[in-house]
Structure 1
Amino acid sequence: MTVTRLGSGGPWEQSYGYSRVVRAGDLAWTAGCTATVDGRVAHVGDAAAQTALALRIGLAALAEVGVQPGDVVRTRMYVTDRLHADEVGRAHNAVFGAVRPVATLVVVAGLLDPEHLVEVELEAFVGER
């Protein structure tokens, strides 16, 4: 089985020792994706926009290893305040409403950058098309 590991050049990947996306056979995973672009947090204070961007970043990483949005079978969303849950969930639905992967939404004490309101992880199964 071939294992492909790709980075995005993000600020923490090299120093923390992880990949943005890994594909092993029919399975693929992203690392936690946030609304960080070029080392800066985008959409400060807007959990829905941060979620939409983080999902786009994750899906772009999966696309690099041949995974389509419909292949996503599980998502995890970490939010820093339960008050963001509905807007994060609606942003998730805008992307995955037709796919309907299993999903987990967890309230956490904080994320690496205090301006991050949400972090997402994606898992996919490619299998036969």
Structure 2
Amino acid sequence: MSKSSKTLIVYFSFDDGANREVERLRREIEADIIKLEPVKPYPSEYTKRLAMIEREFQQGKLPQIKTTLPNLQKYREIYLGYPPVFGNRLPSIIHSFFSSFDLRGKTIIPFSEIVEEPLRATLCEMNELAKKYEVKLVNREV
């Protein structure tokens, strides 16, 4: 990680689909990168993965985060990448991220490797998290 960066990219992906967008973004903004990984990995087989995601939503369970994050106090901005699930929901691990770490006063900038429209559909849910955890949410123009 760069010692002088004030920006962090935190992202979650079910596969390696986000890697290209994350690397492009890292070069554009010169940021440190952390990939969120759950303690219990999601299945690689699509229908099993969807079933696990659905169970998380139905049971209201948030996955535990396996990833060790750096001291977030040194970062002002956090670009938060994720794939919308079921077209318009935040992955449960994004809720885990907000509830597990002190993000008060940070600026959160959501992004996705998927088309822009589904990301917009998640912004209402993201706004609720931003209010609850006292962060500033900024829409990133793609």
Question: TM-score, with normalisation over the residues of structure 1?
Answer: 0.41
Q: Which has the higher contact order (CA 8 A, sep 6+)?
A: 1
Higher strand share: 1
Question: TM-score, with normalisation over the residues of structure 2?
Answer: 0.38
